[in-house]
Amino acid sequence: MFAERDSYEIRLRGHLDERWVSWFEGFTIAHDFQNGVPVTKLSGSMADQAALHGVLIKLRDIGIPILSINLVEPENGEDK
């Protein structure tokens, strides 16, 4: 069940160009390497499951492979 404004980290194979920031409004884009493979990390919060599906549809449309989708738990019992 979704709580208000759940935060997610979505890891993608490849480096997503910064020009996509406006397409993923409210998300930060960070580049990294995992076992020598370029990886993009999208981090941000979504209001509900429909918003998550909207992001996944955008990623499908770009054609970039999704490595993982993780719910980020609040630190030290912080409220959302």
Which residues are 8's β-sheet partners?
Answer: 44, 71
Which residues are 11's β-sheet partners?
Answer: 41, 68
**Residue 77: per-residue pLDDT:** 57
Does 76 have pLDDT greater than 60?
A: yes
How many independent structural domains does the chain possess? 1
**Residues 8, 38: Cα–Cα separation, whole Å:** 20
Q: Is residue 53 part of a domain?
A: no
Q: Is residue 58 part of a domain?
A: no
Does 1 have pLDDT greater than 80?
A: no
Structural domain that includes position 15 = 1-47+66-73
Q: Is residue 52 part of a domain?
A: no
Q: Is residue 26 part of a domain?
A: yes
pLDDT tens column, 12-70: 999 988 788 788 888 899 999 999 999 999 999 988 888 889 999 999 999 999 999 99
CA of 57: how far to CAs of 23, 29, 43, 45, 80, in Å? 12, 17, 16, 16, 25
